Structure 1
Amino acid sequence: MSDQTRRLTAIIAFLQAAAALKDTLRSGRTACGRQESTAEHSWRLCLMIMACERDLPGYDLAQLLKLAIVHDLGEAIHGDTPATEQHQDPDRAERERRDMSTLCAPLPEDVRADMLALWEDYAQARSPEARLVKGFDKLETMLQHLAGRNALDFDYAFNLTYGAAQTSQHAVLRDIRAIVDGETKDRILSQPS
């Protein structure tokens, strides 16, 4: 087997394992009421960033998209922790770090190092791009709360405080946040008592 074939075989093994993200369900609901997958969340996060590209001068779009794609990859192993429960899971960050490392293990060393560096950048919010993606991640979750067909007792007020620190990092994030907060308040007022 050639070096190139071994390399591509390793990449395919990683991709097959990462496909579990398609079946990793989140607590968010789609417009028709089914649980969304983590892969769907990551896809729309990328779409959101692309749609805002012209409003983000000075940011590296390729880096933003790479960060968005890898940010939840580790969830392919142990699943997602709902946003409402993340503060109750003190081991989540370390578990996700281990899971990301396990998921990337089959990759060629250079690709594995790149993937893990991206994930770590996001997890630690080291770069301006990582901090921006963290804000967009929170906003995508909030938008899904508004778009989903949720239970009648869904706590929309959660949106009003969720991710406040991350969504204050850039003017575009703050502007989107203001729109989402307005829609959230309207939804709260329209909920049956």
Structure 2
Amino acid sequence: MKALADFVFEAGMLKKMVRTGYAFLGGGRETVAEHSFRAALIGYWLALEQPGLDAARVALMLLHHDLAEARTGDLNYVNKRYCQADEAKALDHATRRLAPALAGRVRELVEEFNAGQSPEAQLAHDADQIDFMVELKEQWDQGNPNAERWLFYALKRIRTQAGRQLAEAVLEAKWSDWWFEDREELWVRNGDRQPR
């Protein structure tokens, strides 16, 4: 259990690890854990809509895909032109003291995600990008002109039909639509459900 406790603390580093690409965007901030959480939800929900896909596996891949960044840090696209993180080595070091079944399962999920061959891994890759696109769309809606250009390239990375459909819906929506839908109820009657 000591090794598992250490691994839990290590995973917690992702709550503190800031994703570095936002500096180039000129705005926004997100931790690796925040990204992984919503990406896992996106992947799970998309997979539920696809007959024959293992939705739990998609979500688990996304929850684990950036674990190595607790040791390597987050390298953005510019950083990766000059630096190469040995994520396989970092993941091996992170899991080597764990029970073999647990270590094997963690490595298996990350390796499947990285290989990108299975339908679940392809959908997981799309969910990873769609989460990024949601952040970019929020930035764009709030006036960051750089976000539009980034969205164009993020959309090109989408592989699946389901992923493309959701990505296009994200592009068409405004980031605030979800909470501004019931304008009268919320903004005039202040949530009061009593008829006036």
TM over 0.5: yes
Match of residue 117 from structure 2: 126
Aligned with residue 23 of structure 1, among 4, 10, 16: 16
SS in 1 for 2:154: coil
Q: Using a 3 Å threshold, how does the CA distance of structure 1 residues 19 and 151 change in structure 2: closer, same or farther?
A: farther
Q: TM-score, normalised by structure 1?
A: 0.76
- Equivalent residue of 1:114, what SS? helix
Q: Quick check: 1:176 aligned with 2:171?
A: no
Count of residues in correspondence between the two structures: 169
- The answer to whether the 8 A contact 2:65-2:110 is kept is yes
Maintained 8 Å contact 2:15/2:34: yes
Alignment of 1:150-169 (within 5 A): 152=144, 154-162=146-154, 164-165=156-157, 167-168=158-159
Q: Structure 1: which 5+ residue stretches go unaligned?
A: 1-7, 185-193
Q: Which structure exhibits the higher relative contact order, with contacts defined as CA atoms closer than 8 Å and separated by 6 or more residues?
A: 1
The 1:34–1:121 alpha-carbon spacing in structure 2 relative to 1, beyond 3 Å, is same
1:133 is matched by which residue type in structure 2? A
AA aligned opposite 2:50: L
Shift, 1:113, TM fit: 1.2
Identity rate, percent: 22
Deviations 1:145-183 (A, max 9, x none): 122487845342121122624x13x22111122234446
Point out the structure with max Rg over C-alpha: 2
**Where do 1:22-101 residues align within 5 Å?**
22-26=15-19, 27-28=21-22, 35-82=29-76, 84-85=77-78, 88-89=81-82, 91-92=84-85, 95-101=86-92
Structure 2: give runs of 5+ residues left out of the alignment. Answer: 175-196
Counterpart secondary structure, 1:177 = helix
Whole-angstrom distance in 2 between the partners of 1:110 and 1:69: 18
CA contact (8 A) 1:135 1:163 kept: no
Contact 1:18 1:73 in 2 (8 A): yes
In structure 2, C-alpha distance between the alignment counterparts of 1:44 and 1:109, rounded to whole Å: 29
Change (3 A) 1:18 1:154: same
